């Protein structure tokens, strides 16, 4: 993939009739040459469109030297000679605008009236005709609804068709310019672009009407309400209009051609739409794209930031065109921002679902003492790039194959379970899910509206919100998640596999309560990016000076038996490979050549690695002099 390209050009010479596909076109101030320069009206001058006369969709036009050839649905045709127009102009009305337009002769009007079965007049937007856009009154427009051009990306249509009960065609949306080589709805964030010789300003999302539900070949309604039914669920604005595609105004005149590159000159924050639409047919991986592998470095581009709560933001990213997401719901990526001149590694769970490949997102709570979370909240904006390592993590949707799940979270610990819930719902899983999420107050409930909607769509999902600090208006469960509250909310707890994520105190309390209620240890799974804690026994060990040799770094350091191997290397300025620093990812594996360590975590290690003496530097406390080397 070589970046955004112009893959198709369409003009619609007569408003509401079928389009013509071109290999190139000249762009005038009012749009593409010959695009919607003709219009049909009633005898009183009021414009007629396919909204009220769907037969128009079946009329086709061909460009000929003297003008147009108009072909009726029954195959009969008539020539429209643009050199033999009436000299005088007549006022016609288009969406409330009074436009002075040239008229055609009675022979053509009578033919058109007979084919439509109603009195009709044909008009031309002549040299003396004037009409302007509403948002920029100095910019001309012909008989188009509101703006000179409409642009849609192929990826946006593909995303729609992943969610729609019916496969929709680009012709239903009547674009002028179709763009390939982008992620879905990339055009939402463009403000100014260049194609060929022309710069365009993107001024407004395009509101869609009932005409998108008509078959463009037959002019008949399909009957299932698509694509509007699906667009209502995930492209609905605060004004209750649904939006698909972007309206453009040309900033200069010039030629464009199919295959021209599209250059994004200026971006803007894209509109935010509540996404209540499930993926029902996943898109295939493009043949030109590779999968983003675990720990593989990549540059992510931020395409949106969504304020979830007063202190929680979701950041949506796009991968380079040569990569596609490849992860299990619940896994994490490692961000590598540059902060004060230094690269800082920090793991964040993907809150998005792999069932929605165009949506790669993390959801981050601002921590008062969190270096990276504060930096992300204060600095990362749409259009910015950030380095990251590919998805990893053993805490994911495949951690347990149990048919009954309890997703248990608190605060921003919701992120891996949000991904899992989205994934299972998108894939219409029959697994019995109870999703129990605890927050301090109602204002702190992350993605509450979406989860409520998912629970309404998924008959196998039960959603429970509990607040630890509710106000007097809260009628739901509240208080600390102790044994009695847990069993009252999930009476069949012991039959479920529990996937838990949240603050350490919450997870410790929930785990102990579950154990007291009889949950088997092997049915408990938890995620945490906190470094493994030293046991009381470790903390009480007499302090000992130790010699630690790092063979691959050709370094001998003076160590101790109270810090992890990784912490001691850091203090000596030695950079060991690492990511999570929490005994989760396994990046810091080293071979223990000699000596002994106490291992605080071994999760990422296979049995074969354990037998060979492989340990995690982030989770190993030296108990003697050591010699270690990279695996």
The count of other CB atoms within 10 Å of the CB of residue 65 is 6
Per cent of the chain over pLDDT 90 is: 53
pLDDT at 287 over 60: no
Strands 360-365 vs 346-349: parallel, antiparallel or unpaired: unpaired
pLDDT at 297 over 70: yes
Q: For 39-77, write each residue's pLDDT tens digit.
A: 999 999 999 988 888 889 889 888 888 888 898 888 888
Strands 461-467 vs 432-439: parallel, antiparallel or unpaired: parallel
Contact predicate 587/295, CB 8 Å: yes
1 band by pLDDT with thresholds 50, 70 and 90: very low
Q: For 219-234, write each residue's pLDDT tens digit.
A: 788 778 899 999 999 9
**Rounded Cα gap, residues 72 and 111, in angstroms:** 10
Of the options 3.90.930.12, 3.40.50.2300, 3.40.50.720, 3.10.20.30, the CATH number for the domain spanning 536-630: 3.10.20.30
Residue 113: helix, strand or coil by DSSP?
Answer: helix
Contact predicate 482/461, CB 8 Å: no
Select from 575, 588, 393, 609 the least CA-distant residue to 501: 393
CA dist list (Å): 21 to 71, 175, 218, 418, 579: 16, 11, 19, 44, 51
Q: For 141-169, write each residue's pLDDT tens digit.
A: 999 999 999 999 999 999 999 999 888 99
Query: What does the pLDDT read at residue 536?
Result: 66
Q: Which residue's entry shows tokens 């979270």?
A: 409
Residues in contact with 254: Cβ distance below 8 Å, sequence separation at least 6, in sequence order: 26, 27, 196, 197, 198
Strands 497-501 vs 524-527: parallel, antiparallel or unpaired: parallel
Q: Looking at residues 306-334, what average pLDDT do you find?
A: 89
List, in sequence order, every residue forming a beta bridge with 385; answer none if it has no partner: 301
Strands (E), 517-588: 524-527, 545-550, 555-560
DSSP string, 425-484: HHTT---EEEEEEEESSGGG-TTHHHHHHHHHH-TTEEEEEEESS--TT--S-BS---HH
283 band by pLDDT with thresholds 50, 70 and 90: low
303 band by pLDDT with thresholds 50, 70 and 90: confident
Query: What does the pLDDT read at residue 288?
Result: 55
List, in sequence order, every residue forming a beta bridge with 94; answer none if it has no partner: 97
Query: What does the pLDDT read at residue 561?
Result: 87
Strands in 555-560's sheet, in edge-to-edge order, are 555-560, 545-550, 626-630, 589-594, 614-616
CA dist list (Å): 300 to 306, 329, 378: 17, 19, 18
DSSP string, 567-580: HHHHHTT-----S-
Select from 500, 530, 320 the least CA-distant residue to 416: 500
The count of other CB atoms within 10 Å of the CB of residue 36 is 25
- Give Cα 514 to chain centroid, integer Å: 36
Query: What does the pLDDT read at residue 573?
Result: 80
Q: Looking at residues 163-177, what average pLDDT do you find?
A: 92
pLDDT at 374 over 60: yes
Contact predicate 362/415, CB 8 Å: yes
Q: What angle do CA 107, 109, 112 make, to 5 degrees?
A: 110
Select from 270, 299, 275 the least CA-distant residue to 352: 275
pLDDT at 282 over 80: no
| Range of weakest confidence among 312-321, 344-353, 552-561, 577-586 | 577-586
110 band by pLDDT with thresholds 50, 70 and 90: very high
Tokens of 297: 């470095």
Q: For 428-480, write each residue's pLDDT tens digit.
A: 889 999 999 999 999 999 999 889 988 888 899 999 999 999 999 999 999 98
pLDDT at 531 over 60: no
> Which sequence spans correspond to the domains of the chain?
36-124, 290-392, 404-527, 536-630
Do 290-392 and 536-630 come out as alike in CATH topology? Answer: no
Of the options 3.40.605.10, 2.130.10.10, 3.40.50.2000, 2.40.30.10, the CATH number for the domain spanning 290-392: 2.40.30.10
The mean pLDDT of the chain is 89
Which class in CATH covers the domain with range 404-527?
A: alpha beta
Residue 248: helix, strand or coil by DSSP?
Answer: strand
């Amino acid at each position: 993939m070589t970046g955004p390209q112009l893959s198709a050009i369409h003009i619609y010479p007569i408003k509401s009739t079928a389009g013509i596909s071109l290999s190139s076109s000249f762009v005038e101030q009012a749009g593409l040459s010959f695009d919607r320069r003709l219009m049909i009206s009633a005898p009183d001058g009021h414009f007629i469109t396919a909204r009220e006369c769907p037969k128009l969709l079946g009329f086709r036009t061909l460009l000929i030297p003297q003008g147009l050839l108009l072909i009726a649905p029954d195959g009969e045709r008539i020539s429209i000679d643009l050199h033999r127009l009436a000299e005088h102009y007549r006022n016609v009305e288009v969406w409330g605008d009074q436009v002075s337009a040239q008229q055609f002769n009675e022979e053509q009007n009578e033919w058109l009236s007979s084919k439509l079965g109603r009195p009709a007049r044909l008009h031309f937007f002549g040299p003396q005709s004037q009409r302007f856009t509403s948002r920029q009154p100095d910019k001309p427009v012909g008989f188009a609804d509101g703006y000179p051009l409409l642009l849609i990306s192929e990826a946006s249509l593909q995303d729609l068709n992943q969610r729609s009960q019916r496969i929709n065609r680009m012709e239903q949306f009547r674009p002028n310019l179709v763009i390939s080589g982008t992620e879905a709805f990339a055009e939402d964030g463009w403000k100014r672009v260049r194609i060929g010789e022309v710069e365009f300003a993107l001024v407004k999302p395009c509101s869609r009407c009932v005409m998108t539900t008509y078959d463009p070949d037959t002019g008949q309604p399909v009957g299932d309400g698509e694509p509007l039914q699906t667009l209502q669920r995930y492209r609905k604005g605060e004004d209750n209009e649904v939006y698909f595609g972007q309206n453009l105004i040309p900033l200069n005149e010039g030629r464009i051609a199919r295959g021209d590159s599209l250059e994004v000159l200026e971006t803007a924050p894209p509109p935010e739409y509540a996404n209540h639409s499930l993926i029902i047919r996943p898109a295939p991986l493009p043949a030109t794209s590779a999968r983003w592998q675990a720990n593989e470095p990549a540059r992510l581009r931020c395409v949106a930031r969504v304020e979830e709560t007063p202190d929680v933001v979701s950041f949506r990213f796009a991968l380079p065109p040569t990569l596609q997401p490849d992860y299990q719901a619940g896994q994490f990526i490692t961000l590598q921002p540059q902060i004060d001149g230094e690269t800082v590694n920090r793991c964040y769970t993907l809150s998005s679902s792999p069932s929605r490949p165009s949506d790669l997102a993390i959801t981050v709570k601002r921590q008062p003492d969190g270096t990276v979370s504060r930096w992300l909240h204060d600095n990362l904006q749409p259009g910015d790039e950030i380095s990251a390592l590919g998805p990893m993590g053993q805490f994911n949707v495949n951690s347990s194959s149990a048919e009954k799940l309890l997703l248990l979270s608190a605060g921003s610990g919701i992120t891996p379970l949000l991904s899992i819930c989205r994934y299972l719902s998108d894939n219409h899983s029959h697994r019995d899910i109870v999703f129990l999420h605890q927050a301090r107050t109602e204002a702190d409930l992350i993605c509450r509206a979406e989860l409520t909607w998912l629970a309404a769509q998924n008959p196998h999902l039960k959603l429970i919100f509990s607040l630890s600090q509710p106000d007097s208006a809260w009628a739901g469960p509240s208080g600390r998640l102790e044994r009695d509250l847990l069993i009252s909310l999930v009476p069949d707890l012991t039959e479920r596999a529990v996937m838990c994520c949240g603050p350490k105190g919450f997870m410790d309390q929930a785990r102990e309560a579950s154990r007291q209620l009889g949950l088997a240890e092997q049915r408990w799974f938890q995620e945490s990016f906190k470094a493994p804690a030293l046991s009381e026994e470790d903390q009480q060990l007499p302090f000992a000076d130790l010699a630690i040799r790092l063979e691959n770094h050709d370094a001998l350091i003076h160590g101790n038996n109270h810090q992890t191997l990784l912490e001691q290397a850091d203090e000596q300025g030695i950079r060991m490979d690492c990511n999570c620093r929490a005994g989760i990812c396994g990046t810091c594996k080293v071979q223990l050549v000699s000596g002994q360590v106490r291992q605080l975590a071994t999760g990422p290690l296979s049995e074969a690695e354990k037998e060979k003496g492989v340990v995690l530097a982030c989770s190993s406390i030296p108990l003697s002099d050591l010699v270690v080397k990279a695996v």
